[in-house]
Amino acid sequence: MTVPAAGVGVSMVSVSGSPPQDAATNETSTERMAFFMVDSGGSEGSYDVLLKEEHPASRGKRVAYVLAVLMCLSGCGDGRVEEGWVLETVSQASGTGALLQAISPVSNDVVWVSGHQGTYALSADGGATWQAAVVPDADELQFRDVAAFDARTAYLMSSGSGALSRVYRTDDGGVSWRLLYTADHPDAFLDCMDFWSRDRGLVFGDAVDGVPFLLSTEDGGATWTRVPAEALPASLDQEGGFAASGTCLRTAAGGRAWVAMGNAERSRILTTADYGASWTVVDAPVVAGPAAGLATIDIAADGRGIALGGVIGNDTIRSRNVTVTANRGASWSEGGPLSMTGPVYGAALVPETGGVVVAVGPKGMDWSTDFGGIWYSAEPFTYWAVAFSPQGAGWAVGPRGRIVSISVEKH
Determine how many CB atoms are found less than 10 A away from the CB of residue 399. 26
Query: Within a domain: residue 243?
Result: yes
Q: What is the mean pLDDT of residues 238-250?
A: 97
Q: What is the pLDDT of residue 411?
A: 85
* More confidently predicted of 312 and 11: 312
Query: Within a domain: residue 31?
Result: no
- Tens digits of per-residue pLDDT, 254-279? 999 999 999 999 999 999 999 999 99
Q: What is the pLDDT of residue 143?
A: 98
Query: Within a domain: residue 288?
Result: yes
Residues in the chain: 411
Percent of the chain with pLDDT over 90: 79
CA Rg, the chain, in Å? 20
- Tens digits of per-residue pLDDT, 179-205? 999 999 999 999 999 999 999 999 999
Domain count of the chain? 1
Q: What is the mean pLDDT of residues 143-158?
A: 98
Query: Within a domain: residue 373?
Result: yes
* More confidently predicted of 347 and 411: 347
The DSSP element (H or E) to which 341 belongs, if any, is: none
C-alpha closest to that of 9 among 142, 124, 137, 122: 142
Query: Within a domain: residue 106?
Result: yes
Query: Within a domain: residue 198?
Result: yes
Burial 115-153 (b: 16+ CB within 10 A, else e): bbbbbbbbbbebbeebebebbeebeebbbbbbbbbebeb
Query: Within a domain: residue 9?
Result: no
The DSSP element (H or E) to which 65 belongs, if any, is: strand 63-71
Q: Which domain holds residue 291?
A: 97-400
* More confidently predicted of 55 and 289: 289
CA distances (Å), origin 80, targets 54, 72, 76: 31, 7, 7
Sign of CA dihedral 49, 394, 298, 253: negative
> Where residue 143 sits, what CATH number does that domain have?
2.130.10.10
Query: Within a domain: residue 88?
Result: no
Q: What is the pLDDT of residue 365?
A: 98
Instruction: Judge if pTM exceeds 0.95.
Output: no
